[in-house]
């Protein structure tokens, strides 16, 4: 008999979801620690904003080219087994880099190789996890499960960077990678303890045909691809994380621990934003709210780039995190509710290309621009470009602005039926 829980925690009544949710939180903390360590190590060794941005590009390329392949796998094989393999492999990569750092092998090429390999394996792991979670709860609890998942990720992103800065400052960079490796094995243990052994239904087509089916599904629902595209463009123009090591060491002069706090400020704001989202009523036009939120998000990041006070910089980053959390939760819920289980891996993979590839490409472009005009100028230009793009989406993404939050049907533009000017509209 399932015990009763508060409404905000209702999905935790499902044992297998509790296992994956709690273990993923620990793993996310480890990943955040590793991210801080990698950025700090690259910039500490090279002193180059361009090479720091290059790490983001090294991660973006495998994400973009392999995520769709990972999504096809997630829709064809046992998702639990696929996660066991991917999480174990990621643990091995982190452990090997920790050993290399301890024996003094901190060559830049090795750090780039690590970034490429972990991004390639994450291209399988991320869409598989996204497809796996909805099968662990009832459909009535899916929205709650997804909201808790976003909240957990944001809490981890608050704790992880601050912890990473402390570990680097006290124990050294290698310790950060040992912690990351251990965190992956927590997920492996949870997966072994799970009772769910659900296999995806056989696909009518496999390989390239299955990929085409997933792309067609998204193309026929303009709101879905517009959600992905506006998110991609926002983080492509306005990178939050790519230049933080530069700001910490060369502009604000706060060191490794200050860098951890800068990362954590974004996630602290995201936690507050996620909590507020759980108490707010469903907006009548979530697509319009997402676009307007991105406008403010771009303006806030432009202001952060000009901040001379560490406290003001932290506050602005926190605000940007809160704004992003609200739009992220709305995008995730709309996408999952609109997608049948047989397509969740592929649609989740396509979303991953945008949501993970975008920030990494954004970090790369920020590093390139900063190498020419400085970090402050890069943040200003990127933030303004982000805000202008979101405002312009009123023209190129009209179905998104008109979306009322309903479940999407095939060939639906998600526009309300009454305004004739929006019927059957396509932005491209």
Tens of pLDDT along the chain (428 residues) come to 445 555 656 678 888 888 888 888 999 899 889 888 888 888 888 888 778 778 878 887 887 778 777 777 777 777 888 889 999 999 999 999 999 988 888 788 888 999 899 988 988 888 788 778 777 877 677 777 777 777 788 788 778 877 888 888 888 888 999 999 999 999 999 888 887 655 555 454 555 566 677 678 778 778 788 888 998 899 889 887 778 888 888 888 888 778 878 887 887 888 888 777 766 666 677 788 889 999 999 999 999 999 989 999 999 999 998 888 887 777 776 676 667 666 766 776 777 677 776 787 888 888 888 888 998 999 999 999 999 999 999 998 888 888 775 555 544 444 433 333 322 333 32
CA geometry: angle 332, 335, 336, nearest 5 deg? 85
Which residues are CB-contacts of 154 (< 8 A; sequence separation ≥ 6)?
267, 270, 271, 273, 274, 321, 325
**What's the confidence (pLDDT) of residue 415?**
42
Kindly state the tokens that stand for 397.
Answer: 């993404």
SS3 415: coil
CA 51 – CA 221 distance, rounded (Å): 39
pLDDT tens digits, one per residue of 353-404? 777 767 878 888 888 888 889 989 999 999 999 999 999 999 988 888 887 7
Kindly state the tokens that stand for 259.
Answer: 């860098």
CA 170 – CA 301 distance, rounded (Å): 31
pLDDT tens digits, one per residue of 44-77? 888 887 787 788 788 878 877 787 777 777 777 7
Kindly state the tokens that stand for 167.
Answer: 């570990």
**What's the confidence (pLDDT) of residue 239?**
80
SS3 210: helix
- Exposed e or buried b per residue across 201-218, where buried means at least 16 C-beta atoms within 10 angstroms of its C-beta: eebeeeeeebbebbeebb
Which residues are CB-contacts of 296 (< 8 A; sequence separation ≥ 6)?
323, 387
Give the Å distances, CA to CA, from 405 to 142, 170, 400.
Answer: 15, 48, 10
**What's the confidence (pLDDT) of residue 20?**
86
* 384 contacts 407 by C-beta, under 8 angstroms: no
**What's the confidence (pLDDT) of residue 419?**
33
CA 129 – CA 211 distance, rounded (Å): 18
**What's the confidence (pLDDT) of residue 418?**
34
**What's the confidence (pLDDT) of residue 341?**
64
**What's the confidence (pLDDT) of residue 1?**
41
CA 42 – CA 241 distance, rounded (Å): 14
Q: Comparing C-alpha atoms, which of 14, 30, 274, 266 is closest to residue 148? A: 274
**What's the confidence (pLDDT) of residue 141?**
73
Q: Whole-model pTM?
A: 0.65
């Amino acid at each position: 008999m399932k015990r009763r829980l508060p409404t905000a925690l209702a999905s935790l009544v499902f044992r297998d979801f509790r296992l994956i949710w709690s273990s993923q939180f620990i793993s996310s903390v480890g990943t955040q620690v590793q991210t801080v360590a990698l950025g700090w190590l690259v910039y500490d060794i090279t002193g180059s904003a361009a090479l720091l941005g290059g790490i983001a590009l090294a991660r973006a390329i495998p994400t973009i080219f392999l995520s769709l392949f990972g999504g096809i796998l997630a829709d064809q094989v046992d998702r639990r087994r696929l996660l066991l393999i991917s999480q174990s492999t990621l643990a091995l990569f982190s452990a090997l880099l920790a050993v290399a750092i301890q024996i003094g092998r901190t060559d830049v090429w090795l750090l780039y190789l690590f970034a490429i390999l972990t991004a390639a394996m994450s291209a399988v792991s991320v869409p598989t996890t996204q497809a796996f979670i909805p099968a662990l709860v009832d459909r009535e609890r899916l929205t709650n499960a997804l909201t808790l998942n976003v909240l957990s990720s944001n809490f981890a992103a608050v704790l992880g960077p601050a912890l990473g800065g402390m570990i680097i400052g006290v124990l050294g960079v290698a310790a950060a990678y040992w912690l990351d490796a251990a965190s992956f094995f927590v997920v492996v243990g949870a997966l072994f303890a799970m009772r769910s052994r659900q296999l995806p239904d056989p696909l009518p087509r496999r390989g390239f045909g299955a990929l085409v089916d997933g792309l067609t599904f998204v193309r026929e629902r303009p709101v879905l691809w517009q959600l992905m595209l506006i998110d991609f463009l926002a983080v492509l123009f306005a990178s939050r994380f790519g230049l933080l090591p530069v700001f910490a060491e060369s502009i604000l002069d706060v060191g490794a621990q200050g860098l951890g706090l800068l990362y954590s400020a974004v996630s602290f704001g995201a936690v507050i934003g996620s909590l507020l989202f759980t108490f707010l009523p469903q907006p009548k036009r979530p697509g319009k709210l997402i676009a307007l939120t991105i406008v403010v998000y771009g303006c806030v990041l432009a202001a952060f780039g000009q901040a001379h006070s560490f406290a003001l910089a932290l506050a602005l980053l926190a605000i940007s995190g809160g704004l992003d959390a609200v739009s992220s939760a709305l995008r995730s819920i709309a996408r999952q509710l609109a997608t049948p289980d047989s397509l969740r891996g592929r649609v989740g993979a396509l979303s991953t290309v945008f949501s993970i590839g975008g920030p990494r490409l954004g970090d790369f472009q920020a590093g390139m621009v900063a190498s020419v005009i400085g970090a402050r100028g890069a943040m200003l230009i990127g933030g303004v470009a982000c805000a202008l793009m979101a405002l312009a989406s009123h023209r190129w993404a009209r179905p998104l602005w008109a979306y009322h939050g309903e479940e999407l049907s095939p060939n639906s533009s998600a526009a309300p039926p009454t305004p004739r000017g929006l019927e059957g509209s396509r932005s491209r």
